Amino acid sequence: MKVLSYLKSISGSRTISGIHNREPNSQPDKQTSEVTKRTGIVPGLWSGDFLFSAADVSHRSTMIREARRQWELGSIVNVMCHVAPPTQPDVCAWEGGVISKLTDTQWADLIKPGGRLNKAWLARLDDQAVHLGYLKQHGVEVLYRPFHEMNQGQFWWAGRRGPSGTAALYRLTHDYLTKVHKLTNLIWIWDMQDMSRDFADYNPGDKYWDVFAFDVYDRGFDKSWYDYILPIVGDKPMAIGECDKLPTAKMLDEQPRWCFFMSWAELTFEKNSDAGIRELYGSPRLVHQRDLSNFRAR
């Protein structure tokens, strides 16, 4: 994988700039365009999301076509999954949908081969596979993050520790998309949040993830978190998967293993001054779209 090899090559020396493009999927470059307008620089990582509302689900293809366009412009592509639980239709609410809880019985049925909810989830993955397969067809490598913040128990998939918990759903999803749908263009992201130091309870297993991402919404830029993560990650790439408050160039120099950061959509502009954003984007440490050779051509 060209992108994975590149992330490994810059680990410890460079950091790719990135931003997530949250709703609407009908305008999947909204936040990328906004940060470009404010800095004059196109970030090196573009991110989209399958999402859950009727309008956004109906524009998943729009988001996926934008992912292809961004790739062809030279950006690295990240795709996330704020999606409905298998107990509900593909279109759902935020509260009571994405933010909800399965019972223990429902969870057991979800991860059991042949279970009713297991079949429902695999059907959901069949739909994702069509979109991800389109990207494969066009040579797009995808940083794929199916279950972000696995220790954040507010999400329906998250907060379940141990081998039969959230990690089991991750493994099930990985095996189905790679073995059944043959999606060889996915770079698998294991993602945790800065809220509990129990990462071992959520680790799906070394062979199931390629990059570790860490979401920072509390005190995650504190070096104690960086030091905690290093031995868990080993020599694999590690990144700031989400953040509202941007890191500083000085912090990235002091914590050099972060190979990219992805600021969270509109929070980028709510939690950071324009001057602060420009200062970070002007750091010689950062890699932007203009600095990336086109992976398609490699």
pLDDT, tens only, 216-271: 998 879 999 999 999 999 999 999 999 999 999 999 999 999 999 999 999 999 99
Tell whether the model's pLDDT for residue 98 goes beyond 60.
Answer: yes
pLDDT of residue 298: 55
Are 100 and 152 spatial neighbours (Cβ–Cβ below 8 Å)? no
Compute the mean pLDDT over every residue in the chain, rounded to the nearest whole number: 96
CA 276 to chain centre: 24
pLDDT of residue 119: 98
**CA 1: distance to chain centroid?**
17
**Domain-wise residue ranges, the chain:** 2-297
What's the pLDDT tens digit per position in 168-199?
999 999 999 999 999 999 999 999 999 999 99
Nearest to 270 by CA among 217, 221, 222: 217
| SS3 call for 270 | helix
**pLDDT band with cut points at 50, 70 and 90 for residue 297:** low
Cα separation, 166 vs 177, whole angstroms = 17
Count of positions (residues) in the chain: 298
Residue 295 pLDDT: 72
Note the pLDDT of residue 296: 64
Integer angstrom CA distances of residue 20 from 33, 88, 132, 279:
11, 26, 18, 19
Q: What is the pLDDT at residue 220? A: 79
pLDDT of residue 161: 97
pTM: predicted TM-score of the whole model, two decimal places: 0.96
Tokens of 5: 């090899």
DSSP code string of 181-198: S--TTEEEEEEEETT-S-
Q: How much of the chain, in percent, has pLDDT values that exceed 70? A: 99
Which CATH number is 2-297 given? 3.20.20.80
Q: What pLDDT is stored for residue 218 in this prediction?
A: 82
φ, ψ of residue 90 in degrees (nearest 5): -60, -35
Average pLDDT over residues 133-139: 97
Count CB atoms within 10 A of the CB of residue 134.
15
CB 215 within 8 A of CB 192: yes
Can you tell me the distance from the alpha carbon of 137 to that of 42, in angstroms, rounded to the nearest whole number? 25
Judge whether 48 and 66 are in contact, CB under 8 Å. yes
**Is pLDDT at 294 greater than 80 in this prediction?**
no
* CA–CA distance, 298 with 293 (Å, rounded to integer): 8
Q: Is residue 174 helix, strand or coil?
A: helix
